[in-house]
Structure 1
Amino acid sequence: MLGLEYFSFADKWSPLFLAFMLLVTAAYFLFTGPLSSRFKDHAPVSAGRKTLFVAGMFTLYLAQGGPISLLGHTMFSFHMVSMAMSYLMATPLLILGIPVWMWRAFDRVNPFKKLGFLTRPVVAAVLFNGLFSFYHFPVIHDFVMLNFWVHRLYYLILFIASLIMWWAILNPIPEKDKTTGLAKMGYIFLNMVLLTPACALIIFSSEPMYATYSDPAIWAKAMGYCVSGDTSVLLTKFGGPEYFGYLEPAVDQRVGGIIMKFFQEIIFASMLAYVFFHWYKRENKEDDPLPTEVPPGKLNQA
């Protein structure tokens, strides 16, 4: 299916990355279970919160180590699916999946407190969307895809930037969450706007922008990130990425831009509705006058 049958188990499932993700997940259950007493103000973690964390780890693994990661090196549309899963789905799930008392413990020893200004809503929005848009300039994208350690580093930076961006919306530490509901809604809308130019550039381009998905030689070199051995064999065997593509490169590129924008709109629109509901509910609760008790004598007089 989609050419996956031509690749080995290791190519499709990245066993080392899988082992790392399983170790992190095991550590999470260890520290939220038997070792939770080491944390101040620890409390039992609900099954729902644990499910959110596992879902976040599973989503991140599929996007960065599973078949979707491999497909993202053969089709631009799957590359954008991987981006959306990694930075718009996995990160908020992970933030919500970690209990408040664990976040407080991290905050007490946080070595990056001097960089706290990065969590300011406007700064966080510009940081993530700027890095994402910069990455999708053709010359930058192709350079990152062709250099293994640059690829790893840039994706890590993007992941951290996405955590900071989502933190401004989902800040799980009540006493640290100073952003009002109305400000959060404006912040969500700002994020929706900032990513639009990059997506529009990709969607409305009439020619393939990325050599990684249109030049066979560059594609084969980029495949070295997820396929072991001599990748030049791929050229002899398949000829280029078009062998796996169900769409022409230019069309595949447009579909990728649409997919990213669709994911963003759906996720942020849902978050906007969630924030608005809770803000409206809280405001109405604060505005409701407290019921006053009528003295019995007054009631009889009435």
Structure 2
Amino acid sequence: MLGLQYFRFEELWTPMFLFGMAAIVILYYYLIGPWREKNAPEADAATKLQKFMFVSAAIMFYMVHGGPLNLLGHLMFTFHMVNMSVSYLVVPPLVLLGVPSFLWRKIFSAPFWKKLSFMMHPIICLLLFNILFSVYHVPIVHDYVMTHFSVHRLYYFILLVTSFMMWWQIASPVPEWSRLSDVKRMAYVFANGMLLTPACALIIFAKTSMYAIYSDPNVWVTAMGYCVSGDPSRLLESFSGPQFFNIMDVVEDQQLGGIVMKFVQEIMYGIILAYIFKQWFKREHKDDELPNTNTGTA
């Protein structure tokens, strides 16, 4: 159970967050159903695959930010990296592809969005996400963010927004808004992989514990204050610190976390590369599939 039996139901499952995610899923089905039929009847209906991707993204996002994985992320660095991987490498492309293009057009139809269009330049999106993600894993930054609630929420929100901006360039849900050709999108994926590698390598090859919240009981208790009710210092009366819950050595846990991050990154980028290549291949061979209309005799 990895120590989860020591925590209360509401600490493990965060009911209010669950209700919030359920409301988002209900709103999604309303928008692609009754709202579309009334306001955009000419738009294509959401496919079963799109519905599956969106609901899957909602479930995963809940699990890593409101479910048991959120709590486990404060006990073991490996689970923290699972949460980061799911939040910023898995959920955004699923949401982008799961929401029908007519909804994206409606959401960004307001004129004021054009004033912010410069922020969607592919290079800006590429650098913003990767710099913010890499800086977050600098030990002093990571420990500060994890132990200051307002900063924690703000930094995670900005990371989520920039991850959507970055993934938009790759999995553009509105074809006519895409700024990159298929070949450039594939290069963009490779660039993302290269920029994330140093942060992963730093974690994987470190020989000592880098993050105080997984080795210092007092820092850990401060971070746990966002997961448990009441005075978090009570945890030290029963447990020695995060090591009590960790089934591995702190450094081994840290290294495994870096490996998990790199593994998920490679899997997701591999899948998206295959998706882009498939789209490119279909477009390049579309003319070959058309019937030949010039077969008549002169």
Q: Structure 2 length as normaliser, TM-score?
A: 0.94
1:33 alignment partner, SS class: helix
Report the residue type matching 2:152 in the other structure: H
Query: Per-residue deviation at 1:40?
Result: 7.3
User: In the alignment, is residue 28 of structure 1 matched against residue 25 of structure 2?
Assistant: no
Match of 2:260 in 1: 259
- Say whether the 8 Å CA contact 2:85–2:261 is kept in structure 1: yes
By how many angstroms is 1:290 displaced? 7.8
Q: Which residue does the alignment assign to 2:189?
A: 188
SS at 1:34 equivalent: helix
Per-residue CA deviation, residues 150-201 of structure 1 (Å, 9 max, x unaligned), is 1111111111011111100111112212311100000000000000000011
- 1:283-298 aligned at under 5 Å gives the runs 283-285=284-286, 291=292, 293-296=294-297
SS of the residue aligned with 2:108?
A: helix
May I ask how many residue pairs the two structures share in their alignment? 297
Q: Secondary structure at the match of 2:33?
A: coil
1:174 & 1:120 partners in 2: Cα distance? 16
User: Which residue type is aligned with residue 185 of structure 1?
Assistant: M
What letter matches 1:9 in structure 2?
F
The whole-number CA distance in structure 2 between the counterparts of 1:282 and 1:43 is 20
Map 1:29-44 to 2 at 5 A: 29-36=29-36, 37-39=38-40, 41-44=42-45
TM-aligned CA deviation for residue 14 of structure 1: 0.8
Correspondence 1:1-302 to 2 at 5 A: 1-36=1-36, 37-39=38-40, 41-109=42-110, 111-285=112-286, 291=292, 293-296=294-297
- After superposition, the C-alpha distances for 1:72-108 in whole angstroms (9 at most, x for unaligned) are 0010000000001111111111111111111111121
Distance in 1 (alpha carbons) for counterparts of 2:77 and 2:259: 11
Question: Structure 1 pair 204/47, CA: closer, same or farther in 2 (3 Å)?
Answer: same
1:184·1:275 contact (CA, 8 Å) conserved in 2?
A: yes
For the Cα contact (< 8 Å) 2:82–2:261, is it kept in 1?
A: yes
- Provide the rounded CA distance (Å) in 1 between the counterparts of 2:55 and 2:271: 21
Quick check: 185-194 or 115-124, which moved more? 115-124
Q: What are the ranges of 5 or more consecutive residues in structure 2 without an aligned counterpart?
A: none
Q: Which amino acid aligns with 2:34?
A: P
Counterpart-to-counterpart distance in 2, 1:155 and 1:40: 37
Of 39-48 and 151-160, more deviation after overlay is shown by 39-48
Amino acid at match of 2:48: A
CA distance in 2, matches of 1:278, 1:38: 30
Q: CA RMSD in A?
A: 1.8
1 CA distance for matches of 2:72 and 2:160? 20
Q: Residue type of the partner of 2:14?
A: S
Q: Do the aligned residues in 1 keep the contact of 2:76 with 2:246 (CA within 8 Å)? A: yes
2:119 is aligned with what amino acid? Answer: L
Distance (Å, rounded) in 2 between the aligned partners of 1:97 and 1:289: 29
Deviation at 1:289, TM superposition (A): 9.8
CA distance 1:40–1:136, change in 2 (3 Å): farther
Is the Cα–Cα contact under 8 Å of residues 144 and 151 in structure 1 kept in the other structure?
A: yes
C-alpha distance in structure 2 between counterparts of 1:183 and 1:84, whole Å: 24
Judged with a 3 Å threshold, the aligned counterparts in structure 2 of structure 1 residues 31 and 293 are, in CA distance, closer, same or farther, namely closer
Q: Which amino acid aligns with 1:229?
A: G
| Aligned 8 A contact 2:169 2:179 in 1 | no
Using the alignment, how far apart are the partners of 2:242 and 2:296 within structure 1?
82
Residues 29 and 292 from structure 1, CA distance in 2 versus in 1: closer, same or farther, beyond 3 angstroms? closer
Deviates more, 1:271-280 or 1:223-232: 271-280
In structure 2, the residue matched to 1:300 is: none
Counterparts of 1:145 and 1:179, CA distance in 2: 36
SS in 1 for 2:208: coil
Q: Which runs of 5+ in 1 are unaligned?
A: 298-302
Cα 1:149–1:110 shift into 2, 3 Å: farther
Structure 2 letter corresponding to 1:137: V
Q: C-alpha distance in 2, partners of 1:218/1:275?
A: 44
Question: Percent of aligned positions with the same letter in both sequences?
Answer: 47
Does the Cα contact within 8 Å between 1:39 and 1:105 map onto a contact in 2?
A: no
